[in-house]
Amino acid sequence: MILYEFLSQISDAFFPRICLACSRILPSGRPEFFCSDCFGQITFLHGSLCPVCGILFPDSSSEDHLCPSCMENAHWFEFARAAVAYEGIIADVIRRFKYGRDLTAGEALAGLLADFDFDGVDFSAFDAIIPVPLHIRRLRERRFNQSLVLARALGKKHGIAVDFSLLKRRRFTLTQTGLDKSERDKNISGAFRASHSEKIPGGSFLLVDDVYTTGATINECAKTLAEAGAKRVAALTAARVL
Ligand SMILES: [Zn+2]
Ligand SMILES: [Zn+2]
């Protein structure tokens, strides 16, 4: 331990850790990714939520209740929750991770997801974590699946296996960015298929993705698993559009 601390001080002296958002030098010997000012700008999603889609209500003292969208539309997943709001610093960290292959940004995001206290989520009730899959073409472009990186951090923290073999992307879809809810639903419809479908019936699964926007992708994944016989599907994402 003493040797580790000594080596980490030497490493900090030569390669000081800097805040991912403002590049300020961080105090040595601490495993943080943001300075305290930038960390203070991150909105953690605690408070009054829609119990289905996890949207945060502005009045955090009110009771949890269904949001208008969940009152109108049924979902294939039991619940979706996210650790932080998709805005400012977090939107930038996600963009750098996904499109810039910034692995430190990925590590920071994985830490925010894995360390978040998802109040009321019983991790032991799930058989496996399933990362939202990328199409092989997208995987070749990007060289990694950001959801798998996040799923592994969450699985390690909560002692749940990650199984990326159960869900595949069968259709290449255009990016969902810039599409409205109905266009997103249409774009993603039929994009996934269940594989190793003997492992799915009766199982409880936790989907993991980087961002929940309208829920179209998560919902389509949950539908695919439910139609293959899953008993229960829920989802956790690092961030959520509010
Ligand atoms: Zn900072
Ligand atoms: Zn809702």
pLDDT beyond 70 at 135: yes
Lowest mean pLDDT among 88-102, 180-194, 202-216, 226-240: 180-194
**Residue 142 and residue 200 share a domain:** yes
In terms of domains, do 122 and 81 share one?
yes
Q: Looking at residue 18, what DSSP letter applies?
A: B
Q: Are residues 156 and 65 part of one domain?
A: yes
Three-state SS at 57 = coil
The residue type at 36 = S
Candidate from 1-10, 86-95, 112-121, 180-189 with smallest mean pLDDT: 1-10
Same domain, 118 and 220: yes
Give me ligand 2 centre to Cα 113, in Å.
20
Whole-number Å distance, alpha carbon 206 to ligand 1 midpoint, is 32
pLDDT of residue 179: 78
Instruction: Enter the DSSP assignment of 44.
Output: B
Question: Mind listing the pLDDT tens digit for each residue in 11-45?
Answer: 666 678 899 999 999 887 777 899 999 999 999 99
Query: Taking 90 as the threshold, does the pLDDT of residue 187 lie above it?
Result: no
Same structural domain, 89 and 5: no
Same domain, 117 and 216: yes
Domain range for residue 194?
Answer: 42-240
Query: Are residues 4 and 107 located together in one domain of the fold?
Result: no
Ligand closest in space to the Cα of 42: 1
Counted domains in the chain? 2
Q: How far is the CA of 37 from the centre of ligand 1 (A)?
A: 6
Question: How many angstroms separate the alpha carbon of residue 105 from the centre of ligand 1?
Answer: 13
Checking if the pLDDT of 59 tops 80, the result is no
pTM (2 d.p.):
0.90
How far, in Å, is the centroid of ligand 2 from the Cα of 209?
A: 18
| Mean pLDDT score, 76-95 | 97
Whether the Cβ atoms of residue 235 and residue 222 lie closer than 8 Å to each other:
yes
Q: What whole-number distance in Å separates Cα of residue 213 and Cα of residue 235?
A: 13
Same domain, 33 and 74: no
Which ligand ends up closest to the CA of 23? 1
**Nearest CA among 96, 162, 168 for reference residue 129:** 162
Give yes or no: residues 133 and 200 share one domain: yes
Nearest ligand to residue 79 Cα: 2
pLDDT at 70: 93
Q: CATH number of the domain that 140 lies in?
A: 3.40.50
- In terms of domains, do 23 and 60 share one? no
Same domain? 115 vs 48: yes
- Cα–ligand 2 centroid distance for 96 (angstroms): 29
Q: Which has the minimum average pLDDT: 45-59, 72-86, 117-131? A: 45-59
Amino acid letter for position 138: R
33 and 51 together in one domain = no
